Amino acid sequence: MSLFEKIPHAGEMVDLSRLPDHVGIIMDGNGRWAKERGYSRLRGHRAGVERLHDIVAATSDLKIPYLTVYAFSTENWKRPQEEVSGLMRLLIEYLHRELAELCANNIRIVFSGEEEHIGPRVREAMATAAQASAPNTGTVLNIAFNYGGRQAIAAAALRLAAKAVSGEVPAADLTPELFEAELNPNGLPDFDLIIRTSGEYRLSNFFPFESAYAELVFTPVYWPDFDEREYLKAIAEFQTRSRRFGGVAPA
């Protein structure tokens, strides 16, 4: 069922002609959602994956070109081993189960994050999903997995420095644009809107460079409860903001 069948008045909740190009979501609160119900943390993550399915479909129905979701941070390795391996398994399951539907919806899957420490089965599932969906021309779903913003910036700087040292890139060409291209080889634009669920007011290493002028929307709703209606509410809040980018508001 499409978003417009589920929520027939979606077009009244948001202005469909002024949607963000790139939405980022820090999917937080799975653990607290589970704890409040006496469930294991992993069951919370499972419930979170169901939400991801719905929100990706809604993003595609809205024809929003880019969606980045924070699924596993470089800091999340600090969690108990059982939870970490559960999250790895969940990504594999998600990709296996959803790939056909994502492709049927013309969605392209890309990843941000470091390959280091990720096991071969997870990497294989990621590569398969990226390859199979590469020709798709609809919404780009960027899954930030084993992603840390500071590490990504440092790694891009290091790669560029190596190119400068080898002479591949003359030092005079080291422009901010070149740096951006190195940082985001998938060509994703800066964020327009970043949503964080679960009532936490921080970015937790989520794309510090690309979020420079993003509008931030925080909601107390835990991620497993974040449905299409909540998504539309967050987009509606984004649409109330006056984005000046350092300039002045139009008269």
Residues marked as catalytic: 28, 76
Residue from the set 3, 7, 14, 26 that interacts with ligand IPE by CB under 6 A = 26
Which residues share a beta bridge with 23?
Answer: 67, 193
69 contributes a contact to Mg ion by CB under 5 A? no
- Tell me which residues in 52-71 interact with ligand IPE (CB under 6 A): 70-71
Cβ atoms 68, 113 nearer than 8 A? no
Say how far residue 174 (Cα) sits from the centre of its chain: 28
Of 53, 115, 37, 39, which Cα lies nearest the Cα of 83? Answer: 39
Q: What angle do CA 7, 10, 12 make, to 5 degrees?
A: 135
For residue 196, how many other CB atoms are within 10 A of its CB?
24
Amino acid at residue number 225:
D
Residue from the set 66, 72, 94, 238 that interacts with ligand IPE by CB under 6 A = 72
Which of ligand IPE, Mg ion, none sits in contact with 204, Cβ below 5 to 8 A by type?
A: ligand IPE
Q: Which C-beta is closer to ligand IPE: that of 87 or that of 156?
A: 87
Q: For ligand IPE, which stretch binds (CB under 6 A), given 11-19, 26-34, 113-121, 234-242?
A: 26-34
Q: For Mg ion, which stretch binds (CB under 5 A), given 20-28, 60-68, 75-83, 185-193?
A: 20-28
215 contributes a contact to Mg ion by CB under 5 A? no
Distance CA 158, CA 62 (A): 38
Of 140, 78, 143, which Cα lies nearest the Cα of 105? Answer: 140
Which of Mg ion, ligand IPE, none sits in contact with 184, Cβ below 5 to 8 A by type?
A: none
- 72's enclosing H/E stretch is strand 66-73
Which of ligand IPE, Mg ion, none sits in contact with 147, Cβ below 5 to 8 A by type?
A: none
- Tell me which residues in 27-56 interact with Mg ion (CB under 5 A): 28
Tokens of 153: 């910036």
Q: In the complex, which residues of this chain contact Mg ion (CB under 5 A)?
A: 28
Q: In the complex, which residues of this chain contact ligand IPE (CB under 6 A)?
A: 26-32, 70-73, 76, 87, 198, 200, 202, 204
